Structure 1
């Protein structure tokens, strides 16, 4: 998993509340277990018209936001089903950070397991960041995970809280497998001991 340290990128505003995982990645795209290739289906029903053509009014289709790496979104982002395809689609599109006042628990934890930083801020702070994100190509934010700080285009800064363990995992690029492999020597020692003391197992 790619490490997350400091990210400077364009932030796209999605002010709607209760954006669920089916809106993030519709069910017809869940047939794959690959983590790549899902970026084209991100927000599919909003990004495309019924005839399959691109919806020019959707924020991520606008020239200033096509390469956005940060989303500033409304309350309760990632609610609905627990599909891990949602963070896969965000990451494949290029999104590394999502900022909201609250997230659905499963989606929140799935983000950390896939190298995405979900940040919780207050309503007032979200309003300020949403205003920053509406500046188009000038909507650049800098997210410093080590310092736990978001810097806006005007130089203002917002601090955020994060669980120390989850922070460590992102900084070191550790998913569940990576955390397990850090204990490879201990696991090997245990298995050797088991073979010696309980060879019938």
Structure 2
């Protein structure tokens, strides 16, 4: 079986509608020039009070959710700004998937392009999952990416993915990797284009060379 075909793990509830990316990854954690260290900032203002002490009533701070890898989220999860840091922070904190009734469009694209699985189920199924989690000590979910199903002890919820996103996830590809699958077609297109439009080839480098010569740099 494809190792990416099944996501299975402990679910943590985050039933907050319109949870935005500024809340998922606050601005003070965006100062770095790489992706490192973002797990610390995940949901920081929800996890900690003004004195930096953990809020004990917040699910992410409770011991029973310590190893959670799936979030049960509210509607319109990930709205707000387009920062990819929200996705990277979730992944660095061990989150492999989010199940919700709807997702903000830009967050959805960022997540799927970075390998964070988002499963959009019906509102009725979402409420059933929340109720099941609330009644259990440790709810485990199984997400079948090949067959597009979220499976719990009380039933199965279907979700949809574009074929492109499903293939990318199953084969562990980001946008660059997915594009390189079409390298032969891309090279062929470029060769034909420049054959028919030779004056457009290397326009930028040609302009830079001319400017460098004029300024005496070459």
Q: TM-score, normalised by structure 2?
A: 0.82
Partner residue, 2:47: 47
Partner residue, 1:11: 11
**Stretch of structure 1 that moved more, 165-174 or 129-138:** 129-138
Partner residue, 2:177: 178
CA distance in 1: counterparts of 2:109 and 2:133, whole angstroms: 25
Which string of whole-angstrom CA distances, capped at 9 and with x for unpartnered residues, describes residues 139-182 of structure 1?
Answer: 1000010011111134x222212212111111111111111222
CA distance in 2: counterparts of 1:72 and 1:104, whole angstroms: 15
Alpha-carbon shift at residue 133 of structure 1 (Å) = 2.7
Alpha-carbon shift at residue 191 of structure 1 (Å) = 6.0
Alpha-carbon shift at residue 104 of structure 1 (Å) = 0.8
**SS class of match (1:132):** helix
Computing the radius of gyration from Cα coordinates, the structure with the larger value is 2
Which structure exhibits the higher relative contact order, with contacts defined as CA atoms closer than 8 Å and separated by 6 or more residues?
1
Q: TM-score, normalised by structure 1?
A: 0.88
User: Closer, same or farther in 2 for the Cα pair 1:193/1:69, shift >3 Å?
Assistant: same
Alpha-carbon shift at residue 186 of structure 1 (Å) = 4.1
Partner residue, 1:79: 79
Number of aligned positions between the proteins = 198
**SS class of match (1:115):** coil
After TM superposition, the structure 1 = structure 2 runs for residues 156-167 of structure 1, keeping only pairs within 5 Å, are 156-167=155-166
Q: Gaps spanning 5+ residues in structure 2: where? A: 203-218
Which string of whole-angstrom CA distances, capped at 9 and with x for unpartnered residues, describes residues 24-55 of structure 1?
Answer: 00011111242232111100001112222222
Q: Is the 8 A contact 1:41 1:89 kept in 2?
A: yes
CA distance in 2: counterparts of 1:14 and 1:121, whole angstroms: 15
Alpha-carbon shift at residue 74 of structure 1 (Å) = 1.1
Q: Is the 8 A contact 1:46 1:58 kept in 2?
A: yes
User: Closer, same or farther in 2 for the Cα pair 1:74/1:65, shift >3 Å?
Assistant: same
CA distance in 1: counterparts of 2:164 and 2:193, whole angstroms: 30
Which string of whole-angstrom CA distances, capped at 9 and with x for unpartnered residues, describes residues 71-117 of structure 1?
Answer: 11111111111111111111111111111111110001111011111
Q: Is the 8 A contact 1:138 1:153 kept in 2?
A: no
The question of 1:68 aligning with 2:68 is answered: yes
Q: Gaps spanning 5+ residues in structure 1: where? A: none
**Stretch of structure 1 that moved more, 7-16 or 176-185:** 176-185
Q: Is the 8 A contact 1:10 1:139 kept in 2?
A: yes
After TM superposition, the structure 1 = structure 2 runs for residues 1-201 of structure 1, keeping only pairs within 5 Å, are 4-135=4-135, 137-154=137-154, 156-188=155-187, 198=198, 201=202
**SS class of match (2:40):** helix
